[in-house]
Amino acid sequence: MWTGRPWNPLLMLEPKYMHHITVMRREFVQRHLEELENKWPNLAEFVLKGLLTQYGLWINSGKIGYKWRICNSDNTTHKSFPITGVYAARWRIIPLLYQAAQKYQAKLSPVEA
């Protein structure tokens, strides 16, 4: 999640949410591969992170280990999801994020919001 901040699944609902390199346990990811492939081909990362809140908190290494890739490609499909798909993905995941936040007593403070 964000460097220096405690784990908070609700940050995934913030417009300024950043994604970093993510390492996930295969045993948890495999349970959701069919759903991701069939229902969320363009939003798989977002949905998967939300689904994984069911298994516990994320661990933040506190290091940023990526660079934005700069390319001259005109392919912007990652930026042009159908709005109905975006809303559907958010509605699939929002309840799980709130359940995880409640379980681990995570809240958004005015500084984070």
Comparing 43 with 71, the larger pLDDT belongs to: 43
3-state SS assignment for residue 33: helix
Q: What is the pTM of this model?
A: 0.69
Write the pLDDT tens digit of every residue in 45-97: 889 989 999 888 876 665 555 555 555 555 555 566 788 888 899 999 999 99
Question: What is the spatial distance between Cα 11 and Cα 18, in angstroms, rounded to a whole number?
Answer: 9
Question: What is the spatial distance between Cα 104 and Cα 56, in angstroms, rounded to a whole number?
Answer: 9
Comparing 72 with 15, the larger pLDDT belongs to: 15
Residue 26 has pLDDT above 70, yes or no: yes
CB 9 within 8 A of CB 53: yes
Q: Which residues contact 111 (CB under 8 A, 6 or more apart)?
A: none
Give the confidence band of 21 by pLDDT, cuts at 50, 70, 90: low
Amino acid of residue 32: H
| Axis crossing angle, helix 83-103 with helix 44-52, rounded to the nearest 10 | 20
Query: Strand (E) positions, 2-111?
Result: none
Backbone angles phi, psi at 97, to 5 degrees: -65, -40
